Chain A
Amino acid sequence: MNKLELQKTAVEVRKGIVEGVHAAKAGHPGGSLSAADIFTYLYFEEMNIDPKNPKDPDRDRFVLSKGHTAPGLYSALAHRGYFPVEDLLTLRHTGSYLQGHPDMKHIPGVDMSSGSLGQGVSAACGMALAGKLNKKDYRVYALCGDGEIQEGQIWEAAMFAGFRKLDNLCVIVDNNNLQIDGAIDEVCSPYPIDKKFEAFNFHVININGNDFDEIKAAFDEAKATKGMPTAIIAHTLKGKGVSFMENAVGWHGKAPNDEEFAIAMEDLRKAGEALCQK
């Protein structure tokens, strides 16, 4: 996909997020929207995957460590063809397979159940280690929140990955600077995030995580990096793409009402239209 196609796809992924959370009357739009470009790049460009064969042992793997942003993952999976896009409207509904947080047992394309913060990078380390032991060349990606890295287990996993030189592992931190209680550097600052991962023997790349040129360059660099895992610190805008949700702490875990939903969809419609003029 070229940059324009990726941008257009990201708009569709964002629409799926807003529609899903609106239909659920609950969920986490802010962090799903900030990471929407990363979800899009991973599932439409970067990862070696086949929606028709989601359990292929040689596939690349993705662990959504910040599992509450499942609407973003689900929307990317649906648009990539893992399951019908219409099903996004069943998000969080009783009896739906689209659980509030990723459930690998029931959702095609979900490589690891997650949701309780701090646990995903460990599972990703296990997958990356398995790849090394089995001499497979698949890659493993884990997406964390910047608030999530306050969890100690993230650093246990980082120590392991750095020590074991898991260069088939790429950890992405969605650094949108906001968590539930406020700005991350006002709640309990994890900064400097890049220096911390460097200290744990990661190759670290800082990027604008809402810019496809920078996203592409970072993932290419990560793939070319040997002998150590890579951490991409993706500086993003929480709520990106929906005017009233952008950089607003209140939109971490709240669904839009019908009026807000209409505005959000109009924002995204316009964004998509503008891209079509290009």
Chain B
Amino acid sequence: MSEVKKVATRDSYGNALVELGKEHENLIVLDADLAAATKTGVFKKEFPERHIDCGIAEANMTGIAAGLSTCGFVPFVSTFAMFAAGRSFEQVRNSIGYPHLNVKIGATHAGISVGEDGASHQCNEDIALMRAIPGMVVINPSDDVEAKAAVKAAYEHEGPVYLRFGRLAVPVINDRPDYKFEIGKGVELRDGKDCTIIATGLCVSEALEAAEKLAVDGIDAQVINIHTIKPLDEELVIAAAKKTGRIFTVEEHSVIGGLGAAVSECLSENCPTKVTRIGMNDVFGESGPAKELLHKYKLDADGIYERIAAEMK
């Protein structure tokens, strides 16, 4: 494979905020002492008066965002996924979700690709938590192009949105002129007839690579990118199940409550189909370089390929 451009979606987040901030004066960014890591620092440099550092107090930051939104601001609450969805779950649920306020949560450092910081900071439960809140939109973009488009779409959407970003630089796969982002609309990236790989986030590029390996073995895999986990593109998922009859979901998240769960719930009700959930198997992560961890937990192209090849025998 030739060298492709790689960008961490947390960088996309910061850059997209700067671009949107130029157009919209009511966009305001909140951070909790992590502006350098969440990449909202670039926004702070451009618009210091609209960047509110709340210190290491995520619950309060979440509530401040709620209050700001009632006064016409569109706040982007920024911190690691562990703290945005984990520590502040109840604030997100009660101060933002219940009153359906127009607050966007920019959660960076999601999943095991956080790397060396280890399990305490690797949030593999955030999609499950956020998905359970009524009215919450949950987006997990796959690359730089999609992440920027998602931030813009989140701003334009009226209501709470959870945006999931990663720390690791990942291949840019959506850099094409006809690329279009629509909340709730999945994207077929590869046609195939034998099985369907439904992936989200950084696992999308890995799934595409795995599909190429499967093709060498004579397995023709369809690949679908589900960037919006809620609302799920049920139409596309059901159509894929009808077409190939065999589904694999891939996510850098627990197999409990995330994309795999969402797809399984949809198909068990609408089109019973065998679904294999590839993700974190109800375990915590550990310290190590991100690429090594993705390999160890079988979420890279090799791991995905091996699992599907074995199941498809």
- How many angstroms between the C-alpha atoms of A122 and B101 in the bound complex? 15
- How many angstroms between the C-alpha atoms of A126 and B75 in the bound complex? 10
Which one of B28, B61, B68, B98 contacts A113 once the chains associate, using CB atoms below 8 Å?
B98
Which residues of chain B are near A152, meaning CB under 8 Å?
A: 59
- How many angstroms between the C-alpha atoms of A25 and B60 in the bound complex? 34
- In contact, A112 and B67 (Cβ under 8 angstroms): yes
Which one of B55, B64, B95 contacts A129 once the chains associate, using CB atoms below 8 Å?
B64
In the assembled complex, the CB of B73 is this many whole angstroms from the nearest CB of chain A, namely: 6
In the assembled complex, the CB of B51 is this many whole angstroms from the nearest CB of chain A, namely: 11
Which residues of chain A are near B67, meaning CB under 8 Å?
A: 63, 112, 122-130
Which residues of chain A are near B55, meaning CB under 8 Å?
A: 159-160
The B-contacting residues of A in range 110-161, CB under 8 angstroms, are 111-116, 118-131, 133-134, 152-153, 156-157, 159-160
**A199 in the interface (beta carbon within 8 A):** no
Which one of A119, A130, A156, A160 contacts B95 once the chains associate, using CB atoms below 8 Å?
A119
Q: How large is the interface on B (under 10, 10 to 19, 20 to 34, 35 or more residues)?
A: 20 to 34
- How many angstroms between the C-alpha atoms of A192 and B156 in the bound complex? 47
Which residues of chain A are near B54, meaning CB under 8 Å?
A: 160
**B72 in the interface (beta carbon within 8 A):** yes
**B94 in the interface (beta carbon within 8 A):** yes
Residue of B nearest to A151 (CB): B59
- How many angstroms between the C-alpha atoms of A185 and B70 in the bound complex? 36
- In contact, A116 and B68 (Cβ under 8 angstroms): no
Which residues of chain B are near A116, meaning CB under 8 Å?
A: 90, 94
- How many angstroms between the C-alpha atoms of A159 and B49 in the bound complex? 19
Which residues of chain A are near B100, meaning CB under 8 Å?
A: 105
* Given A112-B99, A160-B54, A123:B66 Cβ within 8 A: yes
**A104 in the interface (beta carbon within 8 A):** yes
Which of B60, B62, B94, B95 has the largest number of chain A CB atoms within 10 A?
A: B60
The A-contacting residues of B in range 44-101, CB under 8 angstroms, are 49-50, 52, 54-55, 57, 59-73, 75, 90-91, 94-95, 98-100
Which residues of chain A are near B99, meaning CB under 8 Å?
A: 103-105, 112-113
Which residues of chain A are near B70, meaning CB under 8 Å?
A: 61, 104, 111-112, 123, 126-127, 130
Q: Mark A40-66, 1 if CB is under 8 A from B, else 0.
A: 000000000000000001000101000
- In contact, B71 and A125 (Cβ under 8 angstroms): no
Q: How large is the interface on A (under 10, 10 to 19, 20 to 34, 35 or more residues)?
A: 20 to 34
- In contact, A156 and B59 (Cβ under 8 angstroms): yes
In the assembled complex, the CB of A239 is this many whole angstroms from the nearest CB of chain B, namely: 27
* Given A113-B98, A123-B95, A153:B71 Cβ within 8 A: no
Residue of A nearest to B60 (CB): A156
Which residues of chain B are near A111, meaning CB under 8 Å?
A: 70
- In contact, B60 and A153 (Cβ under 8 angstroms): yes
In the assembled complex, the CB of B158 is this many whole angstroms from the nearest CB of chain A, namely: 13
Residue of A nearest to B97 (CB): A113
In the assembled complex, the CB of B264 is this many whole angstroms from the nearest CB of chain A, namely: 31
Which residues of chain A are near B75, meaning CB under 8 Å?
A: 126
- How many angstroms between the C-alpha atoms of A115 and B99 in the bound complex? 12
Which residues of chain A are near B66, meaning CB under 8 Å?
A: 112, 122-123, 126
- In contact, B63 and A153 (Cβ under 8 angstroms): yes
Which residues of chain B are near A126, meaning CB under 8 Å?
A: 63-71, 75
Which of A103, A111, A113, A116 has the largest number of chain B CB atoms within 10 A?
A: A113
- How many angstroms between the C-alpha atoms of A113 and B93 in the bound complex? 11
Residue of B nearest to A164 (CB): B52
The A-contacting residues of B in range 91-122, CB under 8 angstroms, are 91, 94-95, 98-100
Residue of A nearest to B58 (CB): A156
Which residues of chain A are near B90, meaning CB under 8 Å?
A: 116
* Given A113-B98, A156-B57, A160-B57, A134:B64 Cβ within 8 A: no
Closest 9 CB pairs of A and B: A126-B67, A122-B63, A130-B71, A156-B60, A156-B57, A123-B67, A126-B64, A113-B99, A126-B68
Q: List 7 A-B contacts (CB under 8 A).
A: A121-B63, A123-B63, A125-B67, A126-B63, A126-B69, A126-B70, A126-B71
